[in-house]
Amino acid sequence: MHPAAPPRRIVAVFAGLSCLLLPLFAHLPKASAATAAYEAENASLYRAAVATNHTGFTGTGFVDYTNVAGGYIEWTVDADTAGSTTIDLRYANGTTTNRPLDISVNGVTVAAGKAFNGTGSWDSWATAPVAVTLKAGANTVRATATTANGGPNIDSLTTATTAAGPGAMAAAPYEYLGWGNPQKPTDVMAATGVKWFTLAFILSDGTCNPKWDGDRALTGGSDQAAINSIRAAGGDIVISAGGWSGNKLGEKCSSAAALAGAYQKVINAYHLKALDIDIEDTEFSNATVRQRVVDALKIVKTDNPGIVTYVTMGTTPTGPDANGKDLIKRGAAAGLANDGWVIMPFDFGGHTGTMGSATVGALDGLKAAVKSAYGYSDDAAYRHIGVSSMNGKTDESDETVTTTDFRTILGYAQQHHIARFAFWSVNRDRACGSGNDADACSGVSQSPYDFTKIVVQYKG
């Protein structure tokens, strides 16, 4: 990115604002099956005991299987609707020996001898996913030790949908209302059929307090008026915090709890179903801040059951760089049931082939990183990744993302049911005029909304 001319992720000043929020949710698509964390210490136990003698657990403790076969932890897990789901078991195994568990749902074994290999120490936690099918309502999930060594230490069970980003939410292009001669969102909706937008950016006002672009109140102005209009027309919004420029909440908030509180203000202001953390530049390059963002999002997921979260980051043509892989690994280690790890496949600094093929290569690398970190199956890994492309010419002279490239990305998304297909930005989804403003046009020959019309075909 180049601060002097960054069409992808910078901030500017919005126009003045007014209007009251009209949260018209009843007619909109359901955001997701509720996700929730169930602490092991609150479950029913047999030949197992609550303990606190190791660090890193959530809640008030964890469960030790006490080195006997047949001990179990049994949770009652609620599901809004019947369907396929992933349950994530957060565990620690300080030995080098596998401590397998039989996992059953409603009395039927769904994973016999599920491996729980060593995590390096009893203070190091990992996540073991298990694909299950739940019925609507209450479900009994039991994890039973199968050897005389007992099971690993278990911290929690988290339910996480394996479905793609739900329905229309999966296709939510970015629009930035502060510059680039933004179109009225309702005009875009009428012209393309798009229902969801990702509105950017929420930043720090210099403290651990969120504002639009860091200088305007969350509610009471044109941002809110635009959101009201989208919802009145039958749509909804994802709000994105971060971006390339400006003061980042991840850096200005000194703890995960404080950062989660800042995110919560945004969620509360607009009764959000989905939140995007666009982590870039110094927020992305600092390991302490990466961990803070992960831990804050875990708090957000706990406090807002069912909310969809995306983490969006830059990438290389072969997938996330070292910082990106570290961020995903930190998410897995923390037990963060993130709905979509999303890459921005442009500004590569060099690539081969078309931008469509380069994007596919980057997505394959992302899928491999998410699969490795979380232990997902191939299918589940695909369903937890996403893409946020850029339409037309990017910051780099050797990069032009065409509608053909977008159709390549659409095919990949449809084949693998990825969580998200977005792009930067609606502002740029039109041909340039005499001004050739890179923030307001694509730089390629096109009709209005050619790129949005491709993205909106993605249904999750």
Residues noted as catalytic = 280
Where helices occur in 160-286 by DSSP H, the ranges are: 185-192, 222-232, 249-252, 256-270, 281-285
Which regions of 41-117 does DSSP assign to beta strands (E)? 44-46, 49-51, 62-64, 72-79, 83-92, 101-105, 108-114
Alpha-carbon span 254 to 37, nearest angstrom = 25
Alpha-carbon span 411 to 417, nearest angstrom = 10
| Torsion on CA atoms 101, 105, 111, 112, rounded to nearest 10 | 60
Q: CB–CB of 90/126 below 8 Å? A: yes
Alpha-carbon span 73 to 44, nearest angstrom = 6
Residue from 311, 325, 343, 332 nearest 412 by CA:
343
| Residues facing 64 on adjacent strands | 49
Instruction: Identify the residue whose tokens are 């329905």.
Output: 167
Cis amide bond preceding 406, omega within 30:
no
Question: Cβ neighbours of residue 372 under 8 Å, at least 6 residues apart?
Answer: none
Alpha-carbon span 294 to 157, nearest angstrom = 18
Question: Cβ neighbours of residue 41 under 8 Å, at least 6 residues apart?
Answer: 50, 59, 60, 61, 62, 63
